Structure 1
Amino acid sequence: MAIKGSTGEVRPGTRWGYAVAVWGVLFAIPSFLWAAGGTFGAESTVAPELVRLARDGVPWFLAVLWVTGFLKLFGAVIGLGLTRLRGRRTSRALVFCGGGAAVLLGWHGGLFLVHGILVETGAASVDPALAGLTRWYLYLWGPWFIAGGLAFATATARYLRRHPDHRDHRSARHRAALGALGALLLSLASTATGIG
């Protein structure tokens, strides 16, 4: 049994942080693969214009893929960080990033699911050539993003519950909410510009 409150110790309920780490690493693999010029798995599961940008080696898009891959690995590091008690400053950063990632991923996955459901029920239409792609977003990418968001949310909430420096849960929740708001604004901006 771990000693309560000692920094760096593994505590019960940390499997969610490890789940986040595994999720982040697995999610980074396609980004790095596609950034390196491969299109395995992208042809049928990703929008054709994005596949074309990767296949043509468009520099700005390749840079986006590399950055995205490293951000996913950073998410894995956040997950590992949430498995052990940390000092106050590091803890604040973990809570901020964990809350932000939870909302960003949940929102993004939710958009995929809603769009897919609307198409599948006939409430919205897409080019028939993209109908199969819509199903990939509905059945693979939407749930994948939501699973990551739920893992981040759970890991962050459990971290907050067991960290002795977060007895003032209100300020910790404010940091998580601030990260979530920033993530939501980032998602809205990327959607509005057509990048996300």
Structure 2
Amino acid sequence: MSERAEAVSRPPVRPGRAAAVWGFAFAVPSFAWAMGSLVGASSTLAPALVELARDRDPGFIALLWVTAVLKVVGGLLGLALAHPRARGRGVERLLQLMGWGAGVLLVWHGVEFIGHGLLVETHVIGVDPDLRSVSRWYTYLWGPWFVAGGVAFILAARIHLNRVADRRDARTAGVVGGFGALVLSATALIAGMG
């Protein structure tokens, strides 16, 4: 087989690698803040969160460690979606469930940040003047960052699905993951936790 034909027959891995880089890069600040550094925190995070980090609140520090580890798991998920291996049906379904779940959750979260921020920027809703600059960080940095990560995971899961032998079961797992993430996000928003 020629190099060109081989390159055409190989599925693209860029979205999976992008999801991996996104997860690993996003873990760095969480690890840093969990270990006591506050670099970048005061200008990009809500003051209440910075205060919890500064006070070394045990519950918040534990949460930072958990989120840092979950972001590394997300990076590993991106790599798993990008690089095909001989895996069992259960693993392929789990990768679809997690890939679509992560993608939908991240896109939802990012759109929520952007939407809220734009409502603040256009003065549709008010915000404490001290929180205006932080709101801009959420609108123009964190929101798009979450959307980009979510899109990378969705594309990686979609490409991965094309390489799975039993697409029907894997597709069902992906739908469950995506829909489950959507329900979880909507429930959190309605409950005031989103």
Normalising by structure 2, report the TM-score: 0.89
**Sequence identity percentage:** 52
What's the Cα RMSD here?
1.8
Residue matched to 2:3: none
Where in structure 2 are there 5+ consecutive unaligned residues? Answer: 1-5
CA 107–24 in structure 1, closer or farther in 2 if over 3 Å, else same: same
Report the equivalent of 1:74: 73
The letter for the 1-side match of 2:144 is: P
CA distance in structure 2 between the partners assigned to 1:99 and 1:148 by the alignment: 12
Q: Does 1:29 pair with 2:24? A: no
Deviations 1:52-80 (A, max 9, x none): 00110000110000000000000011101
Distance in 2 (CA, whole Å) between partners of 1:78 and 1:123 is: 39
| 1:1-196 mapped onto 2 (5 Å cutoff) | 1=6, 11-86=10-85, 87=87, 88-166=89-167, 168=168, 171-188=169-186, 190-191=188-189, 192=191, 194=193, 196=194
Aligned pair in 2 of structure 1 residues 39, 186: CA closer, same or farther (>3 Å)? farther
Structure 1 residue identity aligned to 2:36: G
CA, structure 1 residues 193+118, in 2 after alignment: closer, same or farther (shift >3 Å)? closer
Taking the aligned partners of 2:165 and 2:185, their CA distance within structure 1 comes to 32
TM-score (norm 1): 0.88
- Count of matched residue positions in the alignment of Structure 1 and Structure 2: 186
Say if 2:105 and 2:185, in contact at 8 Å, map to a contact too. Answer: yes
CA deviation vs aligned residue, 1:171-194 (integer Å, no higher than 9, x gap) = 322211211233234434555364
